[in-house]
Amino acid sequence: MEKVWKWDNQFVPLGIYISVPFCRTKCSYCNFASDVFSRRVFDRYVERVCADIANARQTTHDMGAKIDLEVDSIYLGGGTPTVLDAAQLQIMFNALRAEFSVCVDAEVTVECAPGTLSPEMLRGLLRCGVNRVSLGVQSFVDAEAAAVGRLHRRTTVLEDITRLRSAGIANINVDLIAGLPHQTAESWQVSLDETIATSAPHVSVYMLEVDEDSRLGRELMAGGTRYHAHFVPDEDTTADFYLAASEKLEAAGTAQYEISNFARPSFESRHNLKYWTRQPYLGFGVDAHSMLTAADSDSGAVRFSTTDSLEAYTTGVPPQKTPVSAAAAFEESFFLGLRLNCGVDLNDIAARFGNESVRKVRPTIDQWICDGLVQRAEHRIRLTARGRLLSNEVFSSFIVA
């Protein structure tokens, strides 16, 4: 039976995300707001993030939202947060703890590129209270990793995992990408076998995104050969890789709980679950997003986000606000909730948005069930294995506008 997560509008502690948009190299597949910058800008960026943290309550008020100061998850992503000095990370964590009440059992995650966990950095993470590390492995096959600009080797990853565990950080996530240049069914099995052999309690598997926001994506769309684009597996093969990962990880006891995420019992990402269950979270840094309860409502929400330009962010461009209407919240409940393997509780949706709202989408749900992309058990609907491959089509059907 699938574990069920939901938010019932009772008090839920805040999640905090800090974006660190700096990398050692820019991977060819990357479509995030991150890049390689001179270390001279690091101090200025950390100073701006800390200023935003100190001003969080005023910003929240200006956005028309309300905020609770109790925090049960912190996530530093990027980019590669560990390209900063350990002292710079400590400054940001000190700023957070000065403004927020961080729960003693809070999940504190930092994304790391393999090879950036120096002894000094590892000691610094422990001083900051980090208890979860996400390693951007992408592939355990050295040639595949090198083809997209990763700087590590397989042995680097294994050494990092050993040192993390020796330091007392056993909550480790391994990121993999299906569909990298030169990847084959055989090499993908190597990455899966190596991942399982590490006994990492959490694994994320992403299918390569092809869009104009990455160098590799643009080259693929243009039919070119730069960045090894002509060695990228086709969509059907990539889908097969994803399905193989789902089956193999499940068999190894790392159960899928979300489209791209797998975990052993009790190791699901607390922070990411906030996104999918529409719990409150607050973001700081470049291209950071927030969702909080509206100040004039117990059920309405406000979203706001910072600019994706490093220069604009450091010069003080304010965040952009997006009020979340009841209709938008209804849509989000479906296309975010359906990401989870446990799916969406229609009774819960009816209680929050009214029976008429659910009645209007029943024809859509019935059509997806008929097409084999959605399945229903009593009052709960969820994506099928095929539905997860075509999830964007399902999600878009619930966006009325």
Tens-place pLDDT, residues 297-325: 766 899 999 999 999 999 999 999 998 99
Residue 111 CB: number of other CB atoms within 10 A? 20
- Extract the tokens encoding 334: 């479906």
Query: How far apart are the C-alpha atoms of 269 and 264, rounded to whole Å?
Result: 11
Find, among 133, 127, 40, the residue nearest to 86 by Cα: 127
* The pairing of beta strand 301-305 with beta strand 289-293: antiparallel
In contact, 186 and 233? CB cutoff 8 Å:
no
Range of weakest confidence among 22-31, 104-113, 134-143, 317-326: 22-31
Q: Alpha helix locations (H) across 55-184? A: 56-62, 86-99, 119-127, 142-147, 154-166
Per-residue confidence (pLDDT) for residue 401, from 0 to 100: 43
In 70-105, which positions are buried (b, 16+ CB within 10 angstroms) versus exposed (e)?
A: ebbbbbbbbbbbbbbbbebbebbbebbeebbebeee
Residue 336's CB is within 10 A of a number of other CB atoms, namely: 15
- Tokens coding 235: 């969509």
Binning pLDDT at 50, 70 and 90, where does residue 40 land?
A: confident
Q: How far is CA 49 from CA 72, 76, 168, 284, 353, in A?
A: 20, 12, 28, 6, 37
User: What's the confidence (pLDDT) of residue 218?
Assistant: 86
Q: Are 24 and 36 in contact (CB under 8 A)?
A: yes
Q: Which structure tokens are listed for 361?
A: 């989408």
Strand partners, 76: 18, 110
The mean pLDDT value for 367-373 works out to: 97
CB 221 within 8 A of CB 163: no
Nearest-angstrom CA–CA distance, 283 and 289: 5
Confidence check: pLDDT of 67 > 80 = yes
Beta-ladder partners of 35: 22
CA distance linking residue 117 with residue 102, whole number of Å: 25
What confidence score (pLDDT) does residue 10 get?
Answer: 56
Q: Which CATH superfamily is domain 14-274 in?
A: Aldolase class I (3.20.20.70)
Mean pLDDT of 7-17: 76
Which of 254, 211, 208, 257 has the alpha carbon at shortest distance from 231?
208
Of all residues in the chain, the percent with pLDDT exceeding 90 is 81
Is a pLDDT exceeding 50 seen at residue 121?
yes
User: Per-residue DSSP letters for 257-291?
Assistant: EETTEEESTT-S-HHHHHHHTT--EEEESTT-EEE
- Helix ranges (H only) for 117-184 are 119-127, 142-147, 154-166
Q: Is 291 left (phi over 0), alpha (psi -120 to 50) or beta?
A: beta
Q: Which amino acid is at 64?
A: G
CA distances from 98 to 93, 164, 330 (A): 9, 27, 36
Domain 326-401 has CATH 4.10.95.10: no
Instruction: Tell me the C-alpha distance between 383 and 375, whole Å.
Output: 6
Q: Is the pLDDT of residue 73 over 60?
A: yes
Of 381, 352, 354, whose CA–CA distance to 366 is shortest?
A: 381
* Same fold across 14-274 and 326-401: no
Least confident stretch, 46-50, 182-186, 230-234, 304-308: 230-234
| Confidence at 8, pLDDT banded by 50, 70, 90 | very low
pTM of the model: 0.93
Measure the CA–CA gap between 28 and 185, rounded to whole angstroms: 22
First to last CA, the chain: 34
Confidence check: pLDDT of 88 > 70: yes
Domain residue ranges of the chain, discontinuous segments joined by +: 14-274, 326-401
Tokens of 354: 């009214």
pLDDT of residue 400: 67
